[in-house]
Amino acid sequence: MPPRRSHKKSKAGCKRCKIRKIKCDEVHPRCGNCAKHGVSCDFDPTAPDSPTSFVHSPAAASAGGSPHSNFSTASPSSNSTVVPFYRSPLDIVRANINPAASRTLELRLMHHYTSVTSKTFSDSPAQKVAWQEDIPTIAYDAEYLMDAILAVSALHLRALNPSDRSVVRASHGYMASALAKFSSLLKDGVSELNAEALFSTAALIGFQSSASRRFEDGDGEYILPLAWFHSFQGIKTVVMTSWQWLRNSAKVYPIINGQPALRLDLDHSRTSFFAPLLEGMDEQLSSEPEVTREETKRAYEHSVAFLNWAHQKPDRSRILGFAATVSRRFVELIAQQDPRTLVIISCFFAMTKVVDDVWWLHGVAKREVNGIFNLLSEEWWGKMEWPIRIANHEGEMDDILWGGVSSIKDEPGEEEERINIHIDLLAERMNNAAPPMDVD
């Protein structure tokens, strides 16, 4: 057996290299090993504290890239410093380097989740109980859901304590771990055994993608919040594919049932509040390729109908359904920076101003609307008057500023029946459209 080659030991290496017991090249501000694996280095004064519970795993990296799913997020050009979704979540796994420290952190995060964070996801008492008590019990048998819970709790703590770097790293690592398993399970298919956990994880990913926007570099180039739409579209997909089990779940059904049933009016006479957003649509569509023309028209009309519906009764449950309700074609138009679509989502984000006091929605209206405005040419500025006015308003919102609010209230019994019928029909349509599965 040949003698082991000796090398000069590094006494001034970074903490990560010392933990892994490998030679550090001591390059500043980021050593070669940390740069190679795309992780933070404690040589960098702007990086979070070196982790004690998350390290790079060569075994995980060799397992392959992140599976494709509806939960794709920031692109490589993103200047987001929150959740490094542009790297494979399989690159980060949990490791018991310091079990006591990791245990203390997890206890802290779980306590904060059950006592504070879980109560911020909804105004409904039934939904609050579900998030506080029922979802954690599902997570006992689904580690990826537990990781998602801890990730969102850590992000909430970061919002409350911006200088606490330990929760920054925890939020990154736990969400990456959750996404790795979640994506794998989605690829294999939803079943009765994992439907509750997958839905709950999908919802938490949605909260995380929404809240993460507040921590992005406000001085850099504005990037459209595609992750927001992808994550909420993913929630819709999980609900539709697993509705046969979720509709009978005592634990997650209150969360789904808390969403009001859609009552959309396509307003063919063009007299609604947001009807001006569709002006010039037919002329625009005349130059659209025929293969996508009708689908694009439906995407416009449906999204504007939703805005009118939410505008009449602007509460959180109505407003936030927008990202999940719009069509896949509409999300494609966002990615293409289609001007009319950008104006429409500006109105959606402006509506979130009424729930700006919720931590994971704080600052959304002003940041997104002003950012989108800067992407539009002057010919579209006139249609941005309402969202700009609402998003930048400080103080109480009155009916005159808002543009008038309907006093119509839904009857609880009717609402519950309508939401059941609505999802039943959509789920049936989706299942009938799905190709038959191969049988071994």
pTM of the model: 0.73
pLDDT digits (tens, 9 = 90+) for 335-372: 999 999 999 999 999 999 999 999 999 999 999 999 99
Residue-level pLDDT at 67: 35
Q: Which residues of 198-219 are buried (b: 16+ CB within 10 A; e: fewer)?
A: bbbbbbbbbbbbbbbbbbbeee
Residue-level pLDDT at 100: 58
Q: Which residue numbers in the chain have pLDDT < 70? A: 1-11, 35-40, 43-101, 217-219, 404-440
Give the phi and the psi of residue 290 in degrees, each rounded to 5. -60, -30
Residue-level pLDDT at 398: 85
Residue-level pLDDT at 416: 40
Residue-level pLDDT at 48: 43
Q: Is residue 67 within 8 Å of 42, Cβ to Cβ?
A: no
Residue-level pLDDT at 102: 81
Nearest to 325 by CA among 426, 242, 433, 417: 426
pLDDT digits (tens, 9 = 90+) for 188-218: 889 999 999 999 999 999 999 999 998 876 6
Q: Counting every residue, how long is the chain?
A: 440
Residue-level pLDDT at 12: 76
Cα separation, 341 vs 333, whole angstroms: 6
Cα separation, 339 vs 392, whole angstroms: 21
Q: Is residue 380 within 8 Å of 280, Cβ to Cβ?
A: no
- Collect all residues with Cβ–Cβ distance below 8 Å to 126 and sequence separation of at least 6: 254, 258
Q: Is residue 199 within 8 Å of 238, Cβ to Cβ?
A: yes
Residue-level pLDDT at 261: 72
Cα separation, 149 vs 171, whole angstroms: 10
Residue-level pLDDT at 105: 92
